[in-house]
Structure 1
Amino acid sequence: MDTFLHSANIAVHVISGSLALIIGLLILLKAKGTSLHRKLGSFFILCMMVVVTTGIFGVIVFKRNLFLLLITVLAGYNTYSGFRILKEKSNRFYAQDLIAMFLALSTAFVFMYYLKSIGFYWNPVVIYSGVGYLLLVITYDIFRYAIPKSAYGRLWRYEHSSKMISALGALLSAFIGTILPDHKPYSQILPSLFMTFVMVFFNIKIYLQIKGQQKTA
């Protein structure tokens, strides 16, 4: 029974992850702010919810692929936070956002403590970069509450773009790392590095669009 449930969980995880990856790449290629963009975004979030749920289930219940927990936390938090900022378009404080930050960060540190306690060797480049990036995102999410609302302006556009691309990057890293296990850690690090450049590209594009709108206003 456990073998069947585990196989079913893996199947759902892989299918939803593959769909999220395809949809995410389509979103990058298509025009932003359109009806299609919003529909694809909704499907992406739905798929990511399934990916996160099955990923956590696989790690906690079946004790498989501990590294998957870190990737799941990264992708899950960025998806949640990226969607929330799109919905609110402000840096208004919500208790549920603080709870999400705490859960993501505590899970990551419990993960590291557990690996150390069982004497499990991890590649420091992969683990510390993943946890470090999560810490960076959460640190920003905390300090953005200190930004005056008058100065916050359109920062939500950069946040939404960065966080959703980060979630896609975590997904791509997990996918390539899985199909190319003999090439770790490069099969995990290089996809994340590539998506970082993609993130910078789109943030520059957003900056230029905003500047263009201000000139024509």
Structure 2
Amino acid sequence: MSEKFFNLLLLLHIVGGSIGLLCGILVFILKKGTKTHANLGKLFIFGMLLSGVTAQVMAILHPNTFLFMVGVFTIYLVGTGARAIFTKSSRSIHSIDRFLQFGMVLAGLALIYLGIAGVMGGNNFGIVYIVFASIGLLMAVQDIRSASKHSHDKKAYVRKHLQRLGGGFIASATAFLVVNLRELPDWLPVWVLWLIPTLLISPLISFYSKKYKAASL
């Protein structure tokens, strides 16, 4: 029964991730601010959250730190990005926001511990956990502090929305490449897979962030 349940979760994880990746690509390519963009964005959020939640459950049933990390970042980044556009505010003061923030803090601290333990045990991949967990902790602390600040920047929530959803897409695309592209040419190091989505998508996120920043002045 447990294996059947796990296989069902795996199927839902693949379906959610596929929906998220496809819609994420289209969201970046197509014109922003249209009804099509909004509908694709909703499908993207649904797919990514489905993928993230199922990843968390699978990582618990069959202990897998990498899958756990992917699930944590997917839920946090997509969740906070969705909340920003839903509330039209860059502040994070709702109980849902607090749940996401403290969940990221707890998971981040756990990942840093596992990363340090891995490095001390001779597994340099633990550095990946430490780096990603540190980034997540910094964002969570930033969100926690935002609750007490009133921003006069009317477009701050738009930038937060696209930056967090863009980050969620990068995390998902990176996990997809790392998991599925196992046979690499000898001249191509594995760490390249961890950088490709970031190198390709980060410039787009930066471009749109600057665009909305200019529009708010």
TM range (shorter): 0.7 to 0.9
Structure 2 counterpart of 1:152: 153
1:200 aligns with 2:202: no
Whether the 8 Å contact between 2:85 and 2:161 is mirrored in structure 1 is yes
Tell me the CA shift for residue 20 of structure 1: 0.6
Structure 2 counterpart of 1:123: 125
Say which of 194, 198, 206 aligns to 1:188.
Answer: 194
Percent identity over paired residues: 22
Distance, in Å, in 2 between the alignment partners of 1:166 and 1:102 is 19
Structure 1 counterpart of 2:23: 23
Structure 2 counterpart of 1:168: 169
Whether the 8 Å contact between 2:104 and 2:137 is mirrored in structure 1 is no
Structure 1 counterpart of 2:99: 99
Closer, same or farther in 2 for the Cα pair 1:96/1:19, shift >3 Å? closer
Distance, in Å, in 2 between the alignment partners of 1:146 and 1:131 is 24
Structure 1 counterpart of 2:8: 8
Closer, same or farther in 2 for the Cα pair 1:94/1:6, shift >3 Å? closer
Amino acid at match of 1:153: K
Amino acid at match of 2:210: I
Aligned length in residues: 209
Instruction: List alignment gaps of at least 5 residues for structure 2.
Output: none
Alpha-carbon displacement from aligned partner over 1:177-197 (angstroms, at most 9, x marks no partner): 112235433212332343222
Distance, in Å, in 2 between the alignment partners of 1:148 and 1:7 is 46
* TM-score between both structures, scaled by the size of structure 2: 0.85
Tell me the CA shift for residue 87 of structure 1: 1.2
* TM-score between both structures, scaled by the size of structure 1: 0.85
3-state SS, counterpart of residue 148 of structure 1: coil
Tell me the CA shift for residue 207 of structure 1: 3.0
Structure 2 counterpart of 1:46: 46
Structure 1 counterpart of 2:143: 141
1:109 aligns with 2:109: yes
3-state SS, counterpart of residue 152 of structure 1: coil
Distance, in Å, in 2 between the alignment partners of 1:41 and 1:112 is 32
Distance, in Å, in 1 between the alignment partners of 2:144 and 2:27 is 28
The structure 1 segments of at least 4 consecutive aligned residues displaced by more than 4 Å after TM superposition are 114-120
Whether the 8 Å contact between 1:126 and 1:185 is mirrored in structure 2 is no
- Return 12-21 or 161-170, whichever deviates more: 12-21
Report the aligned-residue RMSD. 2.3
Between Structure 1 and Structure 2, which shows a larger proportion of helix residues? 1
- Return 111-120 or 163-172, whichever deviates more: 111-120
Distance, in Å, in 2 between the alignment partners of 1:31 and 1:152 is 23
Closer, same or farther in 2 for the Cα pair 1:131/1:32, shift >3 Å? same
1:66 aligns with 2:65: yes
